[in-house]
Amino acid sequence: MSVAWMNPKAITAITIHCAATPRGRDVKAATISKWDTARFGQVSYHYVIEIDGKVVQTLRHDQRGAHVAKNNTGNISICYVGGVEADAKTPADTRTGPQRESMALLLQALRVQFPRARILGHRDWSPDANGNGKIDKFEWLKSCPCFEVADMVRDLGL
């Protein structure tokens, strides 16, 4: 998997998102980019991982996304299709096996290119309202990406 070149020091974070699309709904990266352009005036994510595991790069690394308010500069974004149950309301880790595998490979490639970047979930950018040094579940502004990114990063040895 090749990834576009960027100064490694310019990238300080890699943030994982979900598209908040219902489990099993086959939404393509181009559709997500259209939704984001209509809502935010631009493509939001650098990568979209479709339900079949296909990784689509939608922004170059030197382009700023629109995915974490006030924290988009130097932040590579990865969005997987899914994130809610079929009811379109209940947050859930709906990643398919191929999505999990592709996400792992993409993160490994990005870690080589950007070794100092923190890998976070969107919800990990929520404010630490109680000042205890961590983002507790009650502080999340949203559930996205609907799984513990820190656990995945640990399991992958990243």
> Which residue has 């099993």 as its token pair?
24
Residue 56: the pLDDT is 98
Partners of 49 in beta bridges: 55, 80
- Is 35 a member of any domain? yes
- Is 147 a member of any domain? yes
Residue 1 has pLDDT above 50, yes or no: no
- Is 67 a member of any domain? yes
- Is 3 a member of any domain? no
User: What are the DSSP calls for 10-55, one per residue?
Assistant: G--EEEEEE--EETT----HHHHHHHHHHHHSS---SEEE-TT--E
Tell me the residue range of the domain where 67 lies: 8-156
> Which residue has 């994982």 as its token pair?
16
- Is 144 a member of any domain? yes
**How do residues 50-78 score in pLDDT, each as one tens digit?**
999 999 999 999 898 888 888 888 999 99
- Is 1 a member of any domain? no
**How do residues 120-154 score in pLDDT, each as one tens digit?**
999 988 888 888 888 888 888 888 999 999 999 99
**Tokens at residue 54, please?**
């296909």
Phi, psi of 16 (to 5 degrees): -100, 135
- Is 20 a member of any domain? yes
Could you give the CA distance from residue 113 to residue 57 in angstroms, rounded to a whole number? 15
Domain count, the chain: 1
- Is 2 a member of any domain? no
Residue 6: the pLDDT is 52
CATH no. for residue 96? 3.40.80.10
